[in-house]
């Protein structure tokens, strides 16, 4: 359990308070209620990235607009209440809700990879679903001279990731439609439900000798080449093409 999870619901309460402060301050200086609403809601949506699960992210993002609606402090047109949902969809596109949780890879989670996977200096590595770039940073710590690529569907997250990881090539795209065949290693931090799909894609596209690495969630249909343990105790599963079926 990460530190923010132990502090729950403090992140949500602080976000709601901050959104109310921003909203009130904008009204006080004469800004329109609609601008104040949009700005405060945007603050809540960005802060929702701290949530460790979908329902916590929803609570963080929607707490302010719901409390504002219940308070009746200002009269806004009905369509204005769509703003929080629009902002949420910008950060969390619909197709991303069924894939990985937006939860960061610990910076030292992949430090032991080079002892088991030796890659050349020009090796191509993909972080499939790179989010805010924590996985790319962990991969860079393990392979500082490799060519790192990130793929992320949400354009705001892609933009933030590119700012945080200027040494990587970060693109917006669907990890399930992108071509994985040119990569020597594909890194995933997905969900148990999406691992069979990831295995099928990797088996159909990765070249012999290429690696599929998954943090925390295993591919139960495969026999791993190795199972590492990250410093926080989570498993890191290593699979090499051609994959061996589980016994």
Helix axes 10-28, 33-47, angle to 10 degrees: 160
Q: Which pair of structure tokens corresponds to residue 165? A: 């990881």
pLDDT digits (tens, 9 = 90+) for 13-36: 888 899 999 999 999 999 988 888
Looking at the DSSP bridge assignments, the partners of residue 172 are 152
What is the structure's pLDDT at 76? 72
Q: Could you give the dihedral angle defined by the CA atoms of residues 99, 100, 102 and 103, in that order, rounded to the nearest 10 degrees? A: 170
- Whether the upstream peptide bond of residue 198 has omega within 30° of 0, thus cis, is no
What architecture is domain 113-245?
Answer: 3-Layer(aba) Sandwich (3.40)
CB within 8 A of 71, min separation 6: which ones? none
The three-class DSSP label of residue 204 is helix
**Whole-angstrom distance, CA of residue 112 vs CA of residue 122:** 19
**Whole-angstrom distance, CA of residue 156 vs CA of residue 70:** 30
Delimit the domains of the chain by residue range: 3-92, 113-245
What is the structure's pLDDT at 102? 55
The three-class DSSP label of residue 125 is strand
What is the structure's pLDDT at 92? 59
**What's the DSSP call for residue 122?**
T
**224 with 201: CB under 8 angstroms?**
no
Residue whose C-alpha is closest to residue 44's, from 27, 25, 66: 66
What is the structure's pLDDT at 243? 97
pLDDT digits (tens, 9 = 90+) for 35-64: 888 898 888 887 877 666 666 777 888 888
> Which residues of the chain are modeled with pLDDT < 50?
1-2, 94-95, 97-99, 101
> What's CA 225's distance to the chain center, in Å?
26
CB within 8 A of 187, min separation 6: which ones? 110, 125, 126, 127, 128, 135, 139, 213, 214, 215
CB within 8 A of 104, min separation 6: which ones? 131, 132, 134, 135
Kindly report the backbone phi and psi dihedral angles of residue 138, in degrees, each rounded to the nearest multiple of 5, phi listed first.
-65, -40
**Whole-angstrom distance, CA of residue 210 vs CA of residue 186:** 8
Kindly report the backbone phi and psi dihedral angles of residue 198, in degrees, each rounded to the nearest multiple of 5, phi listed first.
-65, -40
What is the structure's pLDDT at 157? 80
Residue whose C-alpha is closest to residue 64's, from 82, 45, 89, 50: 45
What is the structure's pLDDT at 99? 46
What is the structure's pLDDT at 1? 43
Number of C-alpha atoms within 13 angstroms, CB side, residue 60?
A: 27
User: Could you tell me where the beta strands, DSSP code E, fall in the chain?
Assistant: 124-128, 147-152, 169-172, 185-188, 211-215, 222-223, 226-229, 235-240, 244-245
């Amino acid at each position: 359990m990460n530190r923010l999870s132990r502090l729950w619901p403090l992140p949500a309460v602080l976000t709601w308070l901050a959104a109310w402060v921003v909203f009130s301050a904008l009204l006080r200086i004469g800004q329109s209620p609609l601008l104040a609403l949009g700005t405060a809601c945007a603050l809540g949506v960005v802060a929702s990235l701290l949530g460790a699960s979908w329902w916590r992210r929803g609570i963080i993002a929607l707490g302010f607009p719901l409390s504002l609606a219940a308070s009746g402090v200002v009269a806004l047109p009905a369509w204005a209440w769509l703003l929080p949902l629009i902002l949420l969809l910008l950060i969390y596109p619909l197709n991303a809700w069924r894939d990985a949780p937006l939860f960061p890879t610990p910076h030292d989670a992949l430090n032991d990879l080079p002892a088991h996977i030796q890659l050349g200096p020009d090796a191509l590595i993909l972080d499939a679903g790179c989010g805010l770039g924590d996985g790319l940073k962990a991969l860079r710590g393990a392979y500082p001279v490799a060519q790192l690529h990130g793929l992320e569907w949400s354009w705001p997250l892609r933009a933030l990731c590119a700012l945080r990881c200027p040494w990587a090539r970060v693109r917006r795209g669907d990890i399930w439609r992108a071509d994985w065949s040119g990569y020597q290693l594909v890194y995933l931090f997905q969900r148990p439900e999406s691992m069979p799909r990831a295995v099928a894609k990797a088996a159909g596209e990765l070249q012999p000798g290429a690696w599929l690495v998954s943090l925390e969630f295993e591919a139960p249909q495969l026999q791993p080449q190795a199972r590492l343990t990250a410093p926080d105790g989570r498993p890191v599963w290593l699979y090499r093409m051609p994959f061996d079926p589980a016994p």
